[in-house]
Structure 1
């Protein structure tokens, strides 16, 4: 009875997820090399000529951008610092509200690329817009992968629900590969790991569906669980993980800002300099190496700046996860975090890095490129198996 229920779940939930997993697989292969492809497609947005003089301060660049483009209609929520001297600085924008209507000002774009030495705007883009030019194709693929480009939070919730079903399906699918007879388990189960190419196309497709899923089960399960983490973090992932291991999401521990505090805001450069001071104090206490600045983010919900750097506390060859949090109102220190702060953080950081191909170097990016193809092929082959059985008129529950 249990096997029959699992089979029905695997079959029909698999069909329900098919379109979403194919979209996730195809787009996932492309965005495994997101940074490289985006920079290669848009050299005029990314490349600058270092003049041999220091970059302008963030406040100077922001002032130039506001005078030329924003005119008070938007503010900088996120700053991505250049990885090298010849790379542009990037800003993500949020609209200010029109005091006469209370509505956000309409924005023609939400990303700006600028020369860090002159403040000159190199180009703009609207992240996730349905435009197929070189400036928008990679962000569009990213948004399709993450949320189908649907308005927040509906796309994230849909993909989160798919990831949750996929996680359950991964577990049931393994069980379905087990032989019905326990006495023949060790003699028959190894056959599920192989593909017999001499028994016709239909059987080869079925064998490939099972064998690829078994050999790569760990990676498929990781993608499913990390999908839940990205899209249903507060709703599902955090509550479950917190029951298993120590896990404190530092952002959730930050104090709420008062209405009075929200009436004032320190500048970007002031936030950067204060965060650097707090980081130096931290280094003096714990003696770790900081490799480079990564980003500065204004969190409007907590009204706090998050300053991130790449450091020796992060995972090897991975993205920046060492962070300082400070009040956006007055710059006072609020918190700090890194991947090794507790077991839950360590697990979550590894899941995120593995999912995004941001660990171990370029070879693992290729692994994730091929995993996107595998997800697509396994999903398509599953639909083909169902369609063949449906056309052949085999009884329900037949495996």
Structure 2
């Protein structure tokens, strides 16, 4: 080998080490500081995977009802009261507040959850027994309330805003972006350029504490990388929705706006239809789905947005349909569902929430996201221990040289 070839090889090795050190430094400092928040996101996220079940368990009188029994020999099913009666009961409890959303029961023993806003900005969640159209209870929230009085709401606020209000929502999205960069740089550092894949993908048996901690960090990070990356990206989507959608539309121009962006055409002398009428129109055109949510118009030109869940003949992974309906004519203005997507961008956006919550894959998906959240403190703690170990080694070398 000539001296010139050797010099070239040495230069390449030096350049490779320089790049690796750069990725290592980025990974280290992002991990140390943003990683601490990853622990909060992970633990609260794991809890929120089962937030409805937990909330019902803590508050059974508020959020669950007894399903009426039919007379013996009766073949018909127990049915809910009309949506008109459900809304009427909620309006009486709201005392002048404006109904902004209605969510259907999660199961046969669940309640309707109706959201209502006051002019002051205060708002309520009103829970109604679907079989008797009676209010089971009300939760009240202040306009400037950063720390809710209710456990699950507190965990939600901590998870997506760190209890810092609107500024916290933006901050969480930015931290999520930094954590995605940390994950990518970690993957670059981990990549076994020498081809020792088995060593890179496993935990060494009977290893000492230093090696065991390192193996634990890299294997947890690698195996949870896809799920954790998807959860972080979808978190950015939810906290910075409009910029996220805009960027997606730049890559996929045919991506539509969401149903609530459509407008109704006001007609002189014609009043807005009711929630029940909007639901009946949706069911007439798309029978079989269950009521997930209805969002009434927020203005004279707003639309009803009806959301069906468990809609038949749709994707088994996310059988949901969103329908925008003109509040005067009843015309269906737009339909968003797995079978009506017009672009890759729409598919990409529609998958964000199902992936974040794990609901896209049923119980398997929810358990995966639950474990992903629990992996976050493991990844962070082992990373900090790894940094302390290397720091101690460096300090020992410096003392020996001095």
Q: Determine if contact 1:250/1:337 at 8 Å carries over to the other structure.
A: no
User: Which residue is equivalent to 1:8?
Assistant: 25
**What displacement does 1:8 show?**
1.3
User: Which residue is equivalent to 1:100?
Assistant: none
Taking structure 2 as the reference length, the TM-score comes to 0.79
**What displacement does 1:335 show?**
1.7
User: Which residue is equivalent to 1:321?
Assistant: 320
Matched, 1:113 2:138: no
- Over the aligned positions, Cα root-mean-square deviation in angstroms equals 3.2
Matched, 1:71 2:71: no
Q: Determine if contact 1:31/1:142 at 8 Å carries over to the other structure.
A: yes
Deviates more, 1:350-359 or 1:194-203: 194-203
Cα offsets for 1:38-73 (capped at 9, x unmatched): 222222122223456754433333333333x3321x
**What displacement does 1:169 show?**
2.1
C-alpha distance in 1 between matches for 2:146 and 2:61: 20
User: Which residue is equivalent to 1:101?
Assistant: none
**What displacement does 1:191 show?**
1.6
User: Which residue is equivalent to 1:335?
Assistant: 334
C-alpha distance in 2 between matches for 1:10 and 1:276: 54
User: Which residue is equivalent to 1:266?
Assistant: 272
C-alpha distance in 1 between matches for 2:186 and 2:177: 14
- Secondary structure of the residue that 1:326 maps to in structure 2? strand
1:1-399 matched pairs, under 5 angstroms: 1-51=18-68, 55-67=80-92, 69-72=93-96, 74-95=97-118, 97=119, 104=120, 106=122, 110-126=124-140, 130=147, 136-152=150-166, 154-179=167-192, 182=193, 185-186=194-195, 188-235=196-243, 237-245=244-252, 248-251=255-258, 254-255=261-262, 266=272, 270-281=274-285, 283=286, 290-298=288-296, 300=298, 303-310=302-309, 311-312=311-312, 314-316=314-316, 318=318, 321-328=320-327, 331-340=330-339, 341-342=341-342, 343-393=344-394
The alignment of Structure 1 onto Structure 2 pairs a total of residues equal to: 364
C-alpha distance in 2 between matches for 1:165 and 1:2: 19
Taking structure 1 as the reference length, the TM-score comes to 0.80
Q: Determine if contact 2:217/2:383 at 8 Å carries over to the other structure.
A: yes
C-alpha distance in 2 between matches for 1:278 and 1:44: 32
**What displacement does 1:358 show?**
0.4
Q: Determine if contact 1:296/1:306 at 8 Å carries over to the other structure.
A: yes
Cα offsets for 1:68-117 (capped at 9, x unmatched): x3321x1111101124443211111211x2xxxxxx1645xx21111224
- Secondary structure of the residue that 1:360 maps to in structure 2? helix
**What displacement does 1:375 show?**
1.6
**What displacement does 1:372 show?**
0.8
**What displacement does 1:10 show?**
0.6
C-alpha distance in 2 between matches for 1:18 and 1:357: 22
C-alpha distance in 1 between matches for 2:184 and 2:297: 37
Q: Determine if contact 2:262/2:302 at 8 Å carries over to the other structure.
A: no
- Secondary structure of the residue that 1:290 maps to in structure 2? coil
- Seen in structure 2, the aligned counterparts of structure 1 residues 379 and 315 have a Cα distance that, compared at 3 Å, is farther
- Seen in structure 2, the aligned counterparts of structure 1 residues 242 and 381 have a Cα distance that, compared at 3 Å, is same
Deviates more, 1:15-24 or 1:225-234: 225-234
Q: Determine if contact 2:305/2:325 at 8 Å carries over to the other structure.
A: yes
**What displacement does 1:129 show?**
6.8
**What displacement does 1:246 show?**
5.8
- Secondary structure of the residue that 1:122 maps to in structure 2? strand
C-alpha distance in 1 between matches for 2:101 and 2:234: 24
Bigger Rg, structure 1 or 2: 2
Cα offsets for 1:146-195 (capped at 9, x unmatched): 2223322x22211111121222222221111134xx5xx21x34322222
C-alpha distance in 2 between matches for 1:21 and 1:60: 44
- Seen in structure 2, the aligned counterparts of structure 1 residues 279 and 349 have a Cα distance that, compared at 3 Å, is same
Q: Determine if contact 1:315/1:359 at 8 Å carries over to the other structure.
A: no
Deviates more, 1:345-354 or 1:49-58: 49-58
Cα offsets for 1:224-279 (capped at 9, x unmatched): 222222222322x3244334446524327834579x89x99735xx2332343255
C-alpha distance in 2 between matches for 1:121 and 1:155: 33
